[in-house]
């Protein structure tokens, strides 16, 4: 596992840039923010940041190292209790029917850590892992690439495109490139193979409402496929079928591999049934197997704290420093200060069911805690008092520019245990308790500051 360099604080470096550089970033961002966010899905009536988050190379590396080490410790916590995906479901009291494509016999190995995005919040410069998403369906790779590359093009201009050596900023390695390299290796795809990306609808998200738009959004993946001689096909999940040789078909295409962007339990139908049959027959492979999903359950973070005395000194110190105190929600929490706690469902996503104690009245908090204690499937986590970063924002519809100091959630994109870009979500002038794009948070990315004068 990676060993994070804890002495490198994670701090936005905008204020430490030379004044002339800051002025150029501000002016170009106000003029070209739409270009910086071109192709990035967002809700109507949203606010777009006019610049990316700016980190130095050490801070960038620390965020990835912390996420990777946390993932390794989470897997170890699972293996202290069980050895297979089916046993993990039992340990978490999760019904197998909630995971229609999961193989209960699949072993829990480091192979499952193939595709990860931790949710990292920074408090006084220290990155803290509040959630760990281990799954092929995690979002952020395309957005991280697009925003970083497009703002870098805006800043560099035509002259610097030929010789970028004079720019103090650079883009991180491409998340989409790293993802595709890892996917091809994981699935064992070879030249001439076909990767099918089942396209689906998701209620409440404007940019997934039109299947043609969704397929266009997947275009960067199709371009990467060409470099490997692999055909990438976006095809409606509902339309997938099984032929008489138990092969999965997407129209005229026969799938060798499937990239899963959806939660199977939410997409029941004949297409999902065909996919499941092909996986069981061994005629197609899926990235990622659904065994990755229960490893992401937030209750496993509570296991880390339960097991603290079983860890070595370095790992114990790491958990205390980089994982907020987390426990399975129980009635005893009613005696604690709710303002310092957040209640989360173990297997929830998109901010659904998350309640900040400071945002509700005592009676509602009591009811929520008692319900969570009864179900046993929620966690209570110490609130991270996230450092605020000041951005300018442009309104999607009116173009109005406003400045706001907002908390950020950093999402290091990890493929094959390596860091390739950071997907950033943060608040905006449209205030909200939770930082989630389903609830209006802004999407952003990271550029790396390389100038030797910055930060001195």
Residue 97 pLDDT > 60: yes
338-368, pLDDT tens digit by residue? 999 999 999 877 667 899 999 999 999 999 9
Cβ contacts of 238 within 8 Å, gap of 6 or more: 269, 270, 271
Q: How confident is the model at residue 7 (pLDDT cuts 50, 70, 90)?
A: low
Q: What is the pLDDT of residue 210?
A: 67
Three-point CA angle 287, 289, 293, nearest 5°: 115
Predicted confidence band at 456 (pLDDT cuts at 50, 70, 90)?
very low
Output Rg (C-alpha) for the chain, integer angstroms: 22
CB of 237 closer than 8 Å to CB of 137: no
- List, as own/partner pairs, every contact residues 339-344 make where C-beta atoms lie below 8 angstroms and the sequence separation is at least 24, other chains included: 339/383, 340/382, 340/383, 341/380, 341/381, 341/382, 341/383, 342/380, 342/381, 342/382, 342/383, 343/368, 343/369, 343/372, 343/378, 343/379, 343/380, 344/131, 344/298, 344/378, 344/379, 344/380, 344/381
Q: Which residue has the tokens 């370095």?
A: 314
Higher pLDDT, 359 or 63: 63
Top-confidence residue, 191 or 336: 191
**What are residue 413's DSSP bridge partners?**
117
- What percentage of the chain has pLDDT greater than the value 70? 91
Report the pLDDT value the prediction gives residue 2, as an integer from 0 to 100. 46
Spans of all domains in the chain: 175-293, 329-383
- Mean pLDDT of the 381-395 span: 96
pLDDT for residue 167 is more than 80: no
Burial class (CB in 10 A: 0-12, 13-18, 19+), 45: exposed
Query: Distance between CA 357 and CA 363 in Å, rounded?
Result: 11
Question: Which residues face 390 on adjacent strands?
Answer: 405
- The residues, ordered by sequence, that sit 6+ positions from 406 with a Cβ below 8 Å of its Cβ are 388, 389, 390, 391, 426, 427, 428
Is 233's pLDDT higher than 70? yes
Strand partners, 133: 117
Q: What is the mean pLDDT of residues 419-428?
A: 95
Q: pLDDT at residue 439 above 90?
A: no
Decide if pLDDT at 3 tops 50.
no
The answer to whether residue 452 scores a pLDDT higher than 80 is no
Q: How far apart are CA 11 and CA 122, in angstroms?
A: 8
Give me the pLDDT at residue 333, please.
84
Fold of 175-293: Rossmann fold (3.40.50)
pLDDT value for 166: 54
């Amino acid at each position: 596992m990676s060993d994070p360099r804890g002495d490198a604080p994670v701090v936005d470096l905008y204020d430490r840039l030379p004044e002339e550089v800051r002025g150029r970033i501000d002016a170009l961002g106000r003029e070209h923010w739409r270009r910086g966010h071109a192709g990035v899905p967002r809700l109507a009536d949203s606010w777009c940041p006019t610049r990316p988050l700016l980190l130095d190379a050490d801070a960038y590396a620390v965020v990835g190292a912390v996420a990777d080490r946390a993932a390794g410790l989470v897997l170890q916590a699972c293996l202290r209790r069980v050895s297979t995906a089916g046993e993990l479901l039992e340990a978490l009291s999760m019904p197998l029917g909630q995971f229609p494509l999961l193989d209960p016999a699949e072993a829990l190995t480091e192979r499952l850590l193939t595709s990860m995005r931790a949710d990292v919040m920074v408090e006084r410069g220290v990155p803290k892992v509040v959630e760990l998403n281990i799954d092929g369906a995690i979002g952020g790779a395309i957005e991280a690439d697009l925003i970083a590359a497009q703002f870098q093009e805006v800043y560099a201009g035509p002259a610097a495109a030929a010789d970028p050596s004079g720019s103090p900023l650079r883009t991180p390695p491409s998340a989409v490139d790293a993802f595709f390299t890892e996917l091809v290796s994981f699935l064992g795809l070879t030249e001439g193979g076909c990767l099918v990306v089942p396209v689906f609808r998701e209620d409440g998200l404007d940019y997934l409402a039109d299947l043609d738009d969704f397929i266009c959004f997947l275009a960067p993946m199709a371009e990467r496929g060409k470099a490997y001689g692999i055909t990438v096909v976006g095809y409606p999940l509902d339309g997938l079928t099984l032929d008489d040789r138990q092969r999965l078909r997407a129209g005229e295409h026969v799938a060798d591999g499937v990239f899963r962007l959806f939660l199977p339990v939410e997409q029941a139908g004949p297409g999902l049934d065909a996919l499941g049959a092909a996986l069981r027959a061994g005629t197609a492979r899926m990235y990622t197997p659904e065994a990755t999903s229960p490893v992401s359950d937030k209750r496993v973070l509570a296991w880390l704290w339960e097991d603290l005395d079983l860890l070595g000194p370095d790992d114990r110190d790491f958990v205390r420093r980089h994982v907020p105190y987390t426990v399975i929600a129980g009635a005893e929490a009613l005696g604690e200060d709710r303002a310092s706690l957040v209640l989360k469902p173990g297997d929830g996503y998109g901010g659904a069911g998350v309640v900040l104690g400071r945002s509700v009245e005592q009676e509602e908090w009591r009811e929520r805690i008692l319900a969570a204690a009864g179900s046993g499937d929620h966690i209570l986590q110490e609130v991270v008092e996230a450092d605020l970063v000041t951005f300018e924002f442009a309104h999607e519809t009116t173009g109005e520019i406003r400045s706001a100091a907002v908390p950020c959630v950093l999402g290091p994109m990890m493929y094959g245990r390596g860091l390739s870009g950071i997907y950033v979500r943060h608040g905006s002038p449209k205030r909200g308790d939770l930082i989630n794009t389903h609830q209006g948070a802004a999407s952003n990315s990271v550029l790396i500051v390389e100038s030797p004068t910055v930060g001195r």
